[in-house]
Structures are given as structure tokens and as C-alpha cells.
Structure 1
């Protein structure tokens, strides 16, 4: 099924709560998305972003689209993740969901993994932002009126001072030249708290920044409340 032919299909949006997912929803339209889908650890926070579940619930309430949380162990092996996602996809198939949209921009390996997993179902993958220039994409996000807070940064490429900052022109200007402006390589992750998809802004308090080891890497997380 080609992407043009999928317009109007029953759609679920893979939801990180961050800038790219928010912009994808902005383009798709909240009436065109049946549900938001995200994974959450047993401690009540999402994986790479480490944002609290209640903030995602507030996003969904303000957007007016329901959100489904797939709970996974905090130290989750891939087999467990895939098993739980298979159960969700089976439920979607039984309810007539035709596609899952992803806001990835250019990571071929991530897209290939998603496509391979969906190939075992009748559900199609859709990448509405695929191959967009990331400089243009981040400017489009800001120009649309979105506001976001940087929730986490990869400590191998950015220092802890970047966590908790507003995602704005000043933040972008401070990024080293080697950093993708959309953080597409995992350099930073965001939480969107306001913009054209929301009925009202999400109140967010910026708390302390903590540093944690993730595998062989180190990440700085700002506790958003």
C-alpha cells in the first residue's frame, strides 16, 4: 500500500511526547489519529525520555486523543518488548487499525526494524516526516508555535546544562555543529508542552537533573513535573 493510498486510513501514532511526534500529529490532524501509543517502564516513566506517565496523560487530554501505554520492565530485554508489542498489534488488527505512523526522520535501521516487525501483521507502517531536512524541520516546528523542554541529553555529546532548557533558537545556536538540530541520532529528547495540537498548555516544572548510566553510555535527565 503506498503512502498516498493510506490517507484516511485508521491510524495509530507512535508517541514519544517529543517534538517530532507532535509535529507529525500536527500534520496528520488530531481527527485523523485514533490513538497515541507509547511504552512506559514499570517505574512510571518512559524509556529514553524518562518523563512521568502523568505528563503524557495530560498531553493526551489536551490533544483530545486517547493514549495507550505498553508497560515494560525497567531493564527490558528485546524479546519481552517484542512480545508485548505483538499483543498490542494483534489487538489493533482486531479493531480495524490499518497503519501505525512513526515520526522518524532518517534512521534507516530503525525504520527497517519497524517494517520487519509490522510485516508479520496486516498493519502498515507510515513515516510522514521521512527524509525531511532537519534544519528546516526544527524551524517548522518552532514556527508552528510549539514549545518544548529538553528532557534528556546524551552525555557523550552534550553536557548536563542542556537538559531542562527550552527548545528554542538560543538552544539551537548553542548546539555543537556535530549535533543534529532535531536530535535524530539520540543527542537529546524533548517533551512538548504547548502548540497548535493542544487545547491548553501542559504545566511543567523543571526539576533537578540527574545523570544515569545507560549501557555503556551516560545520559543527563531533567526531572519534569
Structure 2
């Protein structure tokens, strides 16, 4: 089965990819990524396009890029993604995998989007305990950094931290999702067992952005500045 992996560069999609790479039934075709025009960054996660390209190079898997406009409407998104799915079908892709864990509305949306296309959605991490997944991720020696936090849920001190045992120890007990699937945080994986070389970067400026609906300052991003990698 020829499979495309929905990829953000973060830990959940990276773990889903790793699991699929160890399943002989699947041939990984490419990494499906959504980027925002003008910003040249991964949508939502805010990571620079250049770092995403380095990830793909290290993983040895080509990117399948989907570019969306700033302030993209749902109708625009569906049209753009529909074209991307049609292109996959032409390339004989049979499945798309996503790193979703427990958000049923997100899964339902993806299944509805792919209904009738001939491409089947897969969810390798679905309904796995988040504590189990977080421990698996760290034990596999993945390295990831927190690139964005929701300040309504996490203290600013979590910005730019490495996702490790110390992070888990300090994570607020009242937030039960160690994987942050409700948007508590986003991340960038810079090394791991399926990487051929680590991605090098330095921390840049932090920036606060407002909630789309309330216009209240809510999300804290930290810029990751690429350091030229000798492997590229």
C-alpha cells in the first residue's frame, strides 16, 4: 500500500511516521505538509519552511507541499486540499495517515474529506493512551522542541523547552493530555531514530499572536533559526 503521511514536523506526526516505517505493508510515498503563503512557515506550528525541508532530507522522504493563503477560509482550504488529494490519486497513493490521537471531530472531518476519493485515511496513534505515547516517543530517543504554546493553558516558561522527562514532570497535572492534542503546545522534531542527521538551529525571537476569534493575545511562538547543515 502506497501511503502519504500527514506531517507537521511535530512529535505526533513523527511518531505515526515511525510506526508506519516499521510496517512492511506500507510504502511511504511522501510527507503531506501545509504551509502558509507569505509567511513561508508550517501552518499552525510556525516553523520555517527551510527547517521542514531539512527534516525531509534527513528522513529521506520527499515533501508533498500544500500552500494555503493567509486567513484561509474553510472553503478555500477544502478546494486546495481536494486538488492535493486528486494529485495523490493520480500518483496511485492508496492511504493517507494522520497523527491524530483522540479528537473525534478532527477524525470525522478527515474521513469526510476523503470519502469517495478512493484514498483511505489511517490513524496509527488513534485512542492510544497519551501517557503511553509520550513515554514511547522519549524512549525512542526522539528530540523535539516546543515551538508554540497556548498561554491560556501553559505558562510562558514552557516555550522553547525540550520535550523530555523533565518537561513531563513539570507539565500541569490539571492538563491530562501530555501530547497537547487540544492545542496546548506544538513542537518541532529535530532528531530521532529515523533521522539520518540532526537538524541544527538556534533560538530566535518570541512573538505573541491573538486568538482568531476573540482577538485576545493568546499564542506564544518562538522562532527557530536554521543553522546551515553540512549534510545539505
TM bucket normalised to smaller? over 0.9
CA contact (8 A) 1:150 1:167 kept: yes
Contact 1:17-1:192 at 8 Å conserved across structures: yes
User: What are the within-5 Å matches in structure 2 for residues 31-42 of structure 1?
Assistant: 32-42=27-37
Q: Is the 8 A contact 1:160 1:209 kept in 2?
A: no
Cα distance between partner residues in 2 of 1:11 and 1:156: 36
Say whether residues 1:15 and 2:10 are aligned partners. no
User: 2:174 — aligned with what?
Assistant: 178
Q: Which of 154, 166, 169 is the equivalent residue of 2:165?
A: 169
Out of 202, 210, 215, the position equivalent to 1:213 is: 210
Count residues in correspondence: 217
Moved over 2 A (4+): none
What is the rounded CA distance, in whole Å, between the counterparts of 2:174 and 2:118 in structure 1?
A: 39
Match of 2:46 in 1: 50
The alpha carbon displacement at 1:94 in A equals 1.1
1:91-130 mapped onto 2 (5 Å cutoff): 91-130=87-126
1:177 match: secondary structure:
coil
Cα separation, 1, equivalents of 2:126 and 2:206: 32
Q: Which residue of 2 aligns with 1:4?
A: none
CA distance in 2, matches of 1:210, 1:160: 11
Secondary structure at the aligned position of 1:207 is classed as strand
CA distance in 2 between counterparts of 1:77 and 1:160 reads 30
Aligned-CA RMSD value: 1.2
What SS class does the counterpart of residue 205 from structure 1 fall into? strand
> Any conservation in 2 of the 1:164–1:209 contact (CA below 8 Å)?
no
Name the TM-score, length of structure 2 as normaliser. Answer: 0.91
What's the counterpart of residue 3 of structure 1? none
Map residues 74-93 of structure 1 onto 2, 5 A cutoff: 74-93=70-89
2:92 and 2:49 map into 1 onto residues whose CA distance is 27
**Cα deviation 1:125-162 (Å, max 9, x = unaligned):** 00011000000100000000100000000111112221
Tell me the residue number matched to 2:230.
none
Aligned to 1:224: 224
Q: Which runs of 5+ in 2 are unaligned?
A: 226-232
| TM-score, L = length of structure 1 | 0.94
